[in-house]
Amino acid sequence: MILKVCTSLLLLFLVNSVWTRTVRQVYDDLDPDHWSHYTSECPQECFCPPNFPNALYCDNKGLKEIPPIPARIWYLYLQNNQIETISEKPFVNATHLRWINLNKNKITNSGIESGVLSKLKRLLYLFLEDNELEEVPAPLPVGLEQLRLARNKISRIPEGAFSNLENLTMLDLHQNSLLDSALQSDTFQGLNNLMQLNIAKNSLKKMPLSIPANTLQLFLDNNSIEVIPENYFSAIPKVTFLRLNYNKLSDDGIPPNGFNVSSILDLQLSHNQLTKIPPINAHLEHLHLDHNKIKTVNGTQMCPVSIALEEDYGYYGNIPRLRYLRLDGNEIQPPIPLDIMICFRLLQAVVI
């Protein structure tokens, strides 16, 4: 017992020593001379924290234009201002920028100087949400990893806007004004490493064309989509999370095995016009079907494998993996059919 206590105290001492040394090193590196240097470089409208010398906080300052950015800055916070333009002049020395947050300003496409964004060679994250953009700004930095353009007025994507963005992993275009005509077969060409695509809350009536093959998360909620094309998901074989809530999908708009896709683990079809449960794959783990027009649930028909065959495989066999099922807001009356529980042995929650 004494040995255990001593060992614990020794470990605590070592951890505290390392932590104290690390903190001391930070402040030793930032001696008063450095602090005064950072202060003199800092735009008077902004805040430059001495313990975070690579960051510049100019948010919530009522700014109408971007101040000169010091060369040392990696992280630039300009959200919640009145900025209307992005010109080259403030960024002349800012060659190390990794992150720019310009959310909640008044930036228009005409206010972005030609080529200014593409000159930020090291930029990885660009946030331009809640502005007044009418099209995706282009050209963009080729090393960009995240592009957030939600809640603008975007109705157009210039040809080749994403063609050089091979490192982009997340593209957020939700709550804009995109029509089907804005998404051509080559719109997303070049996005070879895209993992998350969010086009929710637009004005789409069809599933978008040519989604990048590596996409894992596809969000299409709050559109007016009526039909899933045959074999649509074979072109995106890694899609894992699929959200189609608040659309106009009916039974006739879904192919017989439209959602019987082994990669899909989370399928959300809430607030549509379905009267029956579409065929699902045994790998599916979460299924949202609330607020449709479903009247009955037949577990034998819904089960992605034969219940009799499942009995032969046993508990550790190839049984369906469904863990969460939501069916509330339909016309289904409890109790839950017994064959649902027999089929989906891993089911942990059913909302009905």
Under the banding of pLDDT at 50, 70 and 90, the label for residue 218 is: very high
- Please give the backbone phi and psi of residue 81, each rounded to the nearest 5 degrees, phi first: -130, -165
Q: Which of 118, 220, 213, 124 is nearest to 178 (CA)?
A: 220
The predicted model scores a pTM of 0.86
Using one digit for the tens of pLDDT, what is the confidence trace for 334-349? 888 899 999 999 999 9
Q: Is the pLDDT of residue 184 over 60?
A: yes
Choice among 9-13, 105-109, 212-216 with the minimum mean pLDDT: 9-13
3-state secondary structure of 23: helix
Q: How far apart are CA 154 and CA 252, in angstroms?
A: 31
**Concatenated DSSP letters for 201-231?**
SS--SSPPS---TT--EEE--SS------TT
- Residue closest to 350 by CA, chosen among 227, 4, 190, 339: 339
pLDDT digits (tens, 9 = 90+) for 23-35: 333 333 444 445 4
Q: 330: Cβ–Cβ under 8 A, 6 or more apart, which residues?
A: 289, 290, 291, 292, 293, 294, 295
Helices (H) and strands (E) in the chain, counts: 5, 13
The reported pLDDT for the residue numbered 204 is 98
pLDDT of the residue at 2: 39
* CB distance 178 to 161 below 8 Å: no
Q: Which amino acid is at 93?
A: N
Quick check: 304 pLDDT over 60? yes
* Farthest CA pair distance, the chain: 78
Render pLDDT for 230-255 as a digit per residue (tens, 0 to 9): 999 999 999 999 999 999 999 999 99
Distance CA 69, CA 89 (A): 9
By percentage, how much of the chain surpasses pLDDT 70? 86
Would you list the DSSP string of 81-129? Answer: S----B-SGGGSS-TT--EEE--SS---GGGB-TTTTTT-TT--EEE--
pLDDT at site 93: 95
pLDDT score, position 310: 52
At 70-124, the pLDDT tens digits run 999 999 999 999 999 999 999 999 999 999 999 999 999 999 999 999 999 999 9
Contact 171, 187 (CB under 8 A): no
Could you tell me the pLDDT band of residue 318, with boundaries at 50, 70 and 90? confident
Q: Residue 33: what pLDDT?
A: 45
